[in-house]
Amino acid sequence: MAYRVFMPLAEEWTAERARALPDDGNRYEVLDGVLAVTPAPSWRHQDVAFLLQRALQEYLRRHTLGRAICAPADVEFSSRRLLQPDLFVVPHVEGRAPERWEEVQHLLLAVEVLSPSTARHDRRTKRAIYMAESVDEYWIVDAEARVVERWRRDEERPEIVAEQLAWRARRRRSRRSTST
């Protein structure tokens, strides 16, 4: 079961503090300065994430757009925001797939596969963070109900997809300066 550890503001959690925690099989995330600890996901959960990653990676490879990464992998938006999406897509940087988080300007897609222990965080806290961080799309995958809530940047309501899920990456110009 997921739980939050609340610390006084003077003891706010940071990405650095969370990374110093033991590698004990739990997932540690920092959601706006609050430590969230969840147990390792189920095999079914991982199967769903893997199948989505495989489909997305094929699309990304064909169109030379970016890279799909499965958890565990840290996405650090700031010292107060360290997340581990089940799956996320990063765009190419200067014509190649990035190799380090520091090269990534934004996420094209973040995906969370619902688990009983994470549903509340995924639907509320993480959604708010992903939208505030200008993630192009955020999918909340409910494998049991066989639906996906598709949240798009700057939209107030999700699209509920139950039949066929299709995705096209938005192309953005790099915000990175090219001056010498």
pLDDT digit string (tens) for 142-158? 999 999 999 998 889 99
Q: How far apart are CA 58 and CA 18, in angstroms?
A: 33
**Where is average pLDDT lowest: 99-103, 109-113, 120-124?**
99-103
The model's pTM: 0.85
Element (H, E) at 141: strand 137-142
Instruction: Please report the pLDDT score of residue 110 as a whole number.
Output: 97
Instruction: List Cβ neighbours of 9 (8 Å cut-off, separation of 6 or more).
Output: 33
Give the mean model confidence (pLDDT) for residues 48-72: 93
pLDDT: which is higher, 24 or 178: 24
9, pLDDT greater than 80: no
Instruction: Please report the pLDDT score of residue 100 as a whole number.
Output: 83
CB 111 within 8 A of CB 49: yes
Instruction: Please report the pLDDT score of residue 175 as a whole number.
Output: 42
Smallest Cα–Cα separation from 103: which of 130, 134, 135, 76?
76
Give the mean model confidence (pLDDT) for residues 46-66: 93
Sheet holding 147-152, edge to edge: 66-70, 87-91, 109-113, 137-142, 147-152, 159-161
Radius of gyration of the chain (CA): 16
141, pLDDT greater than 80: yes
**Where is average pLDDT lowest: 40-44, 78-82, 167-171?**
167-171
pLDDT: which is higher, 79 or 7: 79
pLDDT tier for residue 52 given thresholds of 50, 70 and 90: very high
Give the mean model confidence (pLDDT) for residues 102-131: 92
Give the mean model confidence (pLDDT) for residues 110-130: 92
Q: How far apart are CA 167 and CA 40, in angstroms?
A: 28
Element (H, E) at 129: helix 127-132
